[in-house]
Amino acid sequence: MTIAINETHDPAVKSWVESANRAEGDFPIQNLPFGACRRRGSSQPPRVGVAIGDFVLDVSGAHRAGLLPGVAEPVALACQSSSLNKLMALGQPHWSALRRELHSLLRADGPGAAGNQDAGRKHLLPVAEAEFCPPAEIGDYTDFYASIHHATNVGSLLRPDNPLLPNYKWVPVAYHGRASSIVVSGTPVKRPAGQSRSKPLEPVQYAPTERLDYELEVGFYVGPGNALGSPIPMGEAEPHIFGLCLVNDWSARDIQAWEYQPLGPFLAKNFCTTISPWVVTLEALAPFRTAAFRRIASDPAPLPYLSSAEDKEHGGLDITLEVWIRTQKMQQQGAEPVRLSSGNFKDMYWTIAQMLVHHASNGCNLRPGDLLASGTVSGAKSRGCLLELTTGGATAIDLPGGEKRRFLEDGDEIILRGSCQSPQFARIGFGDCRGTVQSASA
């Protein structure tokens, strides 16, 4: 069930929050992503908020002030929480109704716009004064491997003659990550230590990783979820997806190379995962749906439980994704970040619906706030991590000022960005997903 385009997507609508009307801004009135934050320095618990321009609207405060009259009681109660879990559990009809109410409140030509503006400003917090928290209490985190380009590029480093394992085109491969080490954008990332072996005949050592990497990913949060033992059919998948965010799955490649056999990723990936603070709802992304990845004729068709005509035609998402770096030297010189790569989420071999359905296909119960991530987003000409960009560290990347990188160094800041653009609709963005590498001794 693909969400329909409605009045909340109208590109002609402007907001009385002037900063939301910038053409290149991430948070116009057509976006309205959800998050959790509090005023910086406050000891109060986080509150559910919506991004609008350079501000955060306190949803619960606006409701108590009578500015969201059409919001049902279950939604109002959910928005009084310090996270989005209760709202996520309510389901698509409630999410959509709240979005319409927020849109009506914030539009410049809405009913009672002058009064809304005067009263609404009392519930706006400047983003610059906000301290962001993870938007949901994430009970479980699963990371997929859904880009065939990434899987081929990495497989070529390990198995040049046979980069893809036999199951890849049949099953959405994934591993269970560590929810406790997921942090919100801006949190420092301490360089991890672990076991590694640089060459086959050399001794195994325990030391800080020398091959720290980022991975450009998109994550999505589970909504209502399913009962234990009850799979989710393809036709019912999207009502279980609340919204999307950006994910940086930091990876220690030398530790990973030593430990991943025979059971896959472990300490090389569970030391830290960074998420963007905003959750862009699936409804906000409705104008940017596209066809699923077009498989070549020799590829197997998805098995029936992973297949639907609607997902084939509209299961993809046209999201431009970028990775930027700002080294410590650049920061000291006041230089701007430089872009390392750009790709698009529509290049993923498996759709978000297929990932969710496969995850629940054995009866595994997904719960509100669970996070599922796509795996590294790479394309035919784009590379979503340094392992790919440097061909396993064999070729250094040249940066301004004479710097080079094979893998990340202490002080490097990595910034992930995502946006959707179309001539027929307003541009919407995801906000930054940032993390700066700290030394192992920090």
Tell me the catalytic residues: 150
Query: Angle at which helices 92-106 and 113-120 pack, to 10 degrees?
Result: 100
CA–CA dist 254, 272 (Å, integer) = 16
State the residue for tokens 């009392």.
122
CA–CA dist 161, 105 (Å, integer) = 59
Are 344 and 186 in contact by the 8 Å Cβ rule? The answer is no
Alpha-carbon distance values, 3 to 9, 31, 349, 431 (Å)? 12, 15, 22, 23
Are 102 and 57 in contact by the 8 Å Cβ rule? The answer is yes
Beta partners for residue 57, in sequence order:
50, 124
State the residue for tokens 């109208």.
10
Look at residue 357 and give its three-state secondary structure: helix
Please list the alpha-helical segments (H only) found in 145-261.
148-158, 253-259
Count CB-CB contacts under 10 A for residue 427: 18
Burial of 141 (0-12, 13-18, 19+ CB in 10 A): buried
Count CB-CB contacts under 10 A for residue 121: 12
CA–CA dist 345, 317 (Å, integer) = 6
Give residue 88's identity as a one-letter amino acid code. M
